[in-house]
Homo-oligomer: A and B are copies of this chain.
Amino acid sequence: MARPPEFDRTKALEAAMKLFWIRGFTATSLPDLLEAMGIARSSFYASFRTKRDLFTECLELFGDRTLAMINEDNRSLHPRDLPHAFFESTILNVSKHRAGRGCMMVNTILELANADPALNELATQKLYAVEQAFAGAFSLAQKSGDMDTTYTSKQLASLVMTINLGLRVQSRQNKSREELQSIIERSLFALGLAA
């Protein structure tokens, strides 16, 4: 009963996410977004309401994908190996360009912690879901006597997240893949999670 859209909403969202991911919220201007998404201004506002709403949607997408990645690994790997697999697939086995984007949740927290508490909260919540995924897997393995219990599952997940956050910052610096790999190996060794 009406004219159909000329663009693929999912693809446009994807393009926006990549841009926000690398540049952050403030530094990404509307013209930047429109060009990357390949749509016109009016279509933008009709489909995504505001820049901030779009950012929120992108952040949710990013967080959900990150969580899905861990849940996927959790079906085939031993819980002890989940952190290493996570670092492999998000830091080591990706292009330098992509590694340089870091983690969108972390970027958001540091950019907007004080300027937009609601977005900080959303990013924090998404990161917490990741931490919970690790903790759940560790807990099961510990209960079946299949994993060291020096730390409780929650404590261990918390430590893994601290390392993760540290690595995300280093990803946005000029650290080489080799340096990052060394840090990953030694950190996991220190936590008793070496391969």
Interface residues of A in 167-183 (CB under 8 A from B): 167-170, 172-174, 182-183
Q: Which of B107, B114, B163 contacts A162 (CB 8 A)?
A: B163
Bound-state Cα–Cα, A111 to B107, Å: 7
- Assess the A110–B113 pair: CB atoms within 8 A: no
CB closest chain-B residue, reference A160: B166
A-B contact pairs, 14 of them (CB 8 A): A24-B114, A109-B169, A109-B172, A110-B111, A113-B173, A121-B174, A159-B186, A162-B163, A162-B183, A163-B166, A165-B165, A165-B166, A166-B166, A190-B190
Interface size class of A (residues with CB under 8 A): 35 or more
How does the 8 Å CB contact mask read for A103-123 relative to B, with 1 for contact and 0 for none?
000110111011100001100
Bound-state CA distance A170–B109 (Å) is 9
Least CB distance, A152 to chain B, in whole angstroms: 10
Is A26 engaged at the interface, CB distance under 8 Å to the other chain?
A: yes
- Whether A56 sits at the interface, judged by CB under 8 Å, is no
Chain A interface (Cβ within 8 Å of chain B)? 22-24, 26-27, 100, 102, 106-107, 109-111, 113-115, 120-121, 124, 127, 151, 155, 158-159, 161-170, 172-174, 182-183, 186-187, 190-191
Is B115 touching A106 in the complex (CB atoms < 8 A)?
Answer: no
Is A162's CB under 8 angstroms from B167's CB?
A: yes
Chain B residues contacting A190 (CB-CB under 8 Å) are 159, 190-191
